[in-house]
A and B are shown apart, each in its own frame.
Chain A
């Protein structure tokens, strides 16, 4: 029996580093693909809408843990030596693209139709209509929900520990098994997550209140 000392804390912080990296990579990657998903989901061409609607429905209707397993083992089938880091990052990126795509679809459709019609009347082509008129306004009203999802994603990366990826939750498991003190270890791990997520949540709520106040 021993207690939590410096080596244990250092190990947890090393895990925390991977949690942050995994979150950032999947948020950025998911943001890029999510934009494509949102645009295809609101496109004129019906086939695009149907395919992306199905894509979103599958990711929103199944557990994140299953998505992780399927993509992890799926990539494993394609090549023998697969870096777990790559497999896990791919899984979270796809997951994030579906959720962000759905959030942004909602905000694109929430804009008054007059915006698109005015842009059309001005003779703006698709790229300029989206880039200059629709997306800046849509992404602004979507910011609180986007930050809400970032918190969700950060917490969700803890599931990577189940496929053996060493991040914060996994580091907690390892240390808990090592010093047989699960309560302080999981308590500390929980607090570390809390102090990453809480400021983000507060920031999201403040932005939302400001948007609501601004729209009055």
Chain B
């Protein structure tokens, strides 16, 4: 009969802590860049320039219909080919930003399209510039509407960071695989890590709840 022994796993506490910080770093930078790609993508998606619209549409469909694992491998080999030598961790951030960005474009577009035309026209009539209309009249209410969908997508992105271990990015799953290789305590290692991921996703959810309260708690009527 196999006896569970978590002692050897907890001895490696410093590595687990560094791994968790690595995961949070990947998640937060990935989400931030994904939001930037998302907003820029929606602007291009709605532009009058047809090639830009087609490019964004193709990009979104390609990314959303292929596995992240294949995307990250492709990037891992494609970037050096294009003369960009990045560390595994930076490559992972680029992959997360591209993947999260494609989903963010679709989600934010839904919000932007839900803003009535009259609201935009009212903004223009008040003498706001085009950029001001987009920022205050379209984007902010749109983000407020789609905030829950965006948050659950970003929680998914946080969990997806574990796949970055496959190109040896510094994060929790990679730390776990090294501890597993040294101790052969696979089930104990992965049970512990699963618990840590659960805590991380709760932490990220709490963070988004706080951001939501701070940014969107204004009366609409």
A155 to B67, CA, bound (A): 5
Whole-angstrom distance from the CB of B64 to the nearest CB of chain A? 7
Chain B residues with CB below 8 A from A126, complex form: none
A186 CB-CB contact with B under 8 Å: yes
Tally inter-chain residue pairs, CB-CB below 8 A: 100
Interface residues of A in 164-198 (CB under 8 A from B): 169, 172-173, 176, 182-183, 186-187, 189-190, 193-194, 197-198
A42 CB-CB contact with B under 8 Å: no
A155 to B197, CA, bound (A): 21
Chain B residues with CB below 8 A from A176, complex form: 73
What are the interface flags for A3-19 relative to B under an 8 Å C-beta threshold, 1 for contact and 0 otherwise?
00000000000000000
Whole-angstrom distance from the CB of B194 to the nearest CB of chain A? 5
Chain B's interface size range is 35 or more
Whole-angstrom distance from the CB of A74 to the nearest CB of chain B? 6
Chain B interface, DSSP helix/strand/loop, else mixed = helix
B202 near A69 with CB under 8 A, answer no
Residue of B69, B155, B187 near A158 (CB, 8 A) is: B69
A76 to B2, CA, bound (A): 11
Known: A189-B70, A198-B65. A58 touches B198 (CB 8 A): yes
A198 to B66, CA, bound (A): 9
Chain A residues with CB below 8 A from B71, complex form: 190
A158 near B65 with CB under 8 A, answer no
B145 CB-CB contact with A under 8 Å: no
A67 CB-CB contact with B under 8 Å: yes
B201 near A62 with CB under 8 A, answer yes
Residue of A69, A183, A197 near B190 (CB, 8 A) is: A69
Most buried by B among A64, A66, A73: A66
Q: Which of B45-53, B115-123, B133-141, B160-168 contacts A (4 or more CB under 8 A)?
A: B160-168
Of the A-B pairs whose beta carbons lie under 8 Å apart in the complex, a sample of 28, sorted by A's number, is A62-B198, A63-B159, A63-B162, A65-B163, A66-B173, A70-B190, A73-B186, A77-B2, A77-B187, A151-B65, A155-B68, A156-B67, A159-B163, A169-B67, A169-B69, A182-B73, A182-B74, A182-B77, A183-B77, A186-B70, A193-B65, A193-B66, A194-B62, A194-B65, A197-B66, A198-B61, A198-B65, A201-B61
Interface residues, chain B, with chain A CB atoms under 8 Å away: 2, 61-62, 64-71, 73-74, 77-78, 81, 155, 159-163, 165-166, 173, 186-187, 190-191, 193-194, 197-198, 201-202
Additional A-B contact list (19), CB under 8 Å, known A62-B194, A63-B197, A190-B71: A61-B159, A61-B202, A62-B197, A63-B162, A63-B163, A151-B65, A158-B69, A158-B70, A159-B163, A162-B69, A169-B70, A172-B73, A183-B74, A183-B81, A186-B77, A193-B66, A197-B64, A197-B65, A201-B61
